[in-house]
Structure 1
Amino acid sequence: MDPDAPMASGPEPGVFRWIMGFLLVGACWGLTTPFMRKAAMNYTPPQRPALTDPNNSWLKKKVLGVLYAVIGVLSRPAYAIPLLLNVTGSVWFFILIGKAELSLTVPITNSLAFLFTVLGEWWAEKKVISRDTWIGMAFVLGGIGLCVQSKS
């Protein structure tokens, strides 16, 4: 196979598949963030003797503190599962930018992530969505529509 030859590509995905791809990335990024935040805020690290040992240097205590915090948070399913979904969204995003129009993919996925973050806060933290936020969300959706319209 000639490495300089153009790659054969299959048929272009339909509009429904593009929409589903954008929605999946936005949902994975936006919905998971409030759940990760909640899990991180509710985490109380256990006491570690190495962090209070006077024989350990300041640098060693800081490095161990970060390491213990990362391991502690990632070992909790309340944080690890949303993080895994969030990273999965990033993989889907990189697949999308390899196929879709870059100037549409980035603003659409980031805008949808904002919308899903608002919904995730409502779901995870029972935050009330204010009237101004609803109006802002409508403007974001309108902006997405204008971006798509400008490319057609």
Structure 2
Amino acid sequence: MFTQICSLVLVALLWGCTNPILKKNSTKIVDIKSSSQIENFYLEVKYLFTNLSYMIPFIVNQLGSVMYFIALQNIDISLALPVANSLTFVFTAIVGWILGEELPKTNVILGILMIFTGTALCTYAKQLNAN
């Protein structure tokens, strides 16, 4: 059970750490303008696929998705879903702050503490039911 929880935390870490990096490294896509929508779409896709500062975090993010899919084979979805998704929010807020986004407000910090508490309670309850 411990390794399964660790794998979900790693998934959340991969997703959460890459979200703000993807946001930051894709901001110049709005500057792409073209006369036709098809050409504009092509230029946007080309921009993303040729931008290594976007593609590397994107690949890491997708690696997290593959790991999540693998983890779902060994862990109950009623635990996997809240652990991975809620901790993703926590890691996104922390990494966003590190990258220069505004400091999380008090209600966000309180929410992070509640997420940690809820995740711990969910994990503990599943552990009790498993034994």
TM-score (norm 2): 0.87
Q: Which amino acid aligns with 1:103?
A: S
Structure 1: which 5+ residue stretches go unaligned? 1-13, 53-60
CA distance in 2, matches of 1:135, 1:25: 23
SS at match of 1:42: helix
Match of 1:29 in 2: 15
Q: Does 1:82 align with 2:57?
A: yes
Q: Which amino acid aligns with 1:70?
A: V
SS at match of 1:98: coil
Cα RMSD over matched residues?
Answer: 1.6
Count of residue pairs brought into register by the alignment: 126
Higher helix share: 2
CA distance in 2, matches of 1:91, 1:120: 22
**Per-residue deviation, 1:19:** 3.0
Q: Does 1:148 align with 2:111?
A: no
Q: Which amino acid aligns with 2:5?
A: I
**Per-residue deviation, 1:27:** 0.9
CA distance in 1, matches of 2:7, 2:115: 18
Match of 2:6 in 1: 20
Match of 2:85 in 1: 110
**Per-residue deviation, 1:135:** 1.1
Write the deviation string for residues 2-34 of structure 1: whole angstroms up to 9, x where unpaired: xxxxxxxxxxxx51x223211210011111011
CA distance in 1, matches of 2:44, 2:104: 32
Contact 1:34-1:125 within 8 A present in 2 as well? no
Q: Which amino acid aligns with 2:111?
A: G
Q: Which amino acid aligns with 1:124?
A: L
**Per-residue deviation, 1:63:** 1.9
TM-score (norm 1): 0.76
Contact 2:11-2:67 within 8 A present in 1 as well? yes
Aligned residue runs from structure 1 range 38-49, under 5 A: 38-43=24-29, 44-45=31-32
Structure 2: which 5+ residue stretches go unaligned? none
